[in-house]
Structure 1
Amino acid sequence: MGKYLVTKRVNGEFQFNLKAGNGQTILASEGYSTKAGCENGIESVRKNAQDDGRFERKESSNGKHYFNLKAGNNQIIGNSEMYESVAARENGIESVKKNAPDAIIEDQTA
């Protein structure tokens, strides 16, 4: 089972990483000024990860592949690691779709 790992950055911002059952990070968030904002970001991922159209598939200048998950307002709510191939990126997207809705939240900021 996947989990959202909520942490605090050195600059005081909150962030979350969605981790697959094997512990690998499959989606990383932006920084949020409040924990409530971070929690809203998690809820947005839960909702938007089920819509394939919300995944923006990209290729970096060095030929690596990655994706962004966007909300209905077109804001990026999470991004992936860099993948060596299109197939690996698609596997990452499928993992987010599978893990995002039911993943537990582990808050490491307390």
Structure 2
Amino acid sequence: MGKFATKIGKDGQHYFNLLATNSQVILTSEGYTTTAAMHNGIESVKKNAPDDKHFERADSKNGKFYFNLKASNGQVIGKSQMYESVASRDNGIESVKKNAPEAPTVAE
């Protein structure tokens, strides 16, 4: 089972990463000003991750591939790492769908 790992950045903002069972980062949050807002972001990921329509698939200028997970209002709630291939990106999306809904939250 994956997990949400939370931390406070050097900028004082609150962040989370969704980690796969092998501890690889599969989704990274934006910065949040409060712990409560960060936990709301985690709940939004859990709610939206199972539905494929919330994933925006994209190509970067350097030829790599990534995805964003968006809430129902269109706001980005998580971004992926860069992938070398479309297939790898799509595997990352499937991993988020599988891991996010039941993932516990732990502090790094």
TM-score, normalised with respect to structure 1: 0.97
SS for the counterpart of 1:40 is helix
Residue 45 of structure 1 aligns with an amino acid whose one-letter code is V
Residue 105 (structure 1) aligned with residue 105 (structure 2)? yes
In structure 1, stretches of 5+ residues that fail to align are none
Rounded to whole Å, the distance in 2 between the matches of 1:66 and 1:18 is: 15
What per-residue deviation string (whole Å, max 9, x for no partner) do you get for residues 60-81 of structure 1?
A: 0011000000000100000000
Question: Aligned residues, how many?
Answer: 108
Deviation at 1:107, TM superposition (A): 2.1
**What CA RMSD, in Å, does the superposition of the two structures yield over aligned residues?**
0.5
> Percent same amino acid at aligned positions?
61
What per-residue deviation string (whole Å, max 9, x for no partner) do you get for residues 8-27 of structure 1?
A: 00111000000000000000
Moved over 6 A (4+): none
TM-score, normalised with respect to structure 2: 0.99
What per-residue deviation string (whole Å, max 9, x for no partner) do you get for residues 1-48 of structure 1?
A: 100001000111000000000000000000000000000000000000
The answer for the alignment partner of 1:9 in structure 2 is: 9
Residue 39 (structure 1) aligned with residue 36 (structure 2)? no
Q: What is the 5 A alignment of 1:1-110?
A: 1-108=1-108
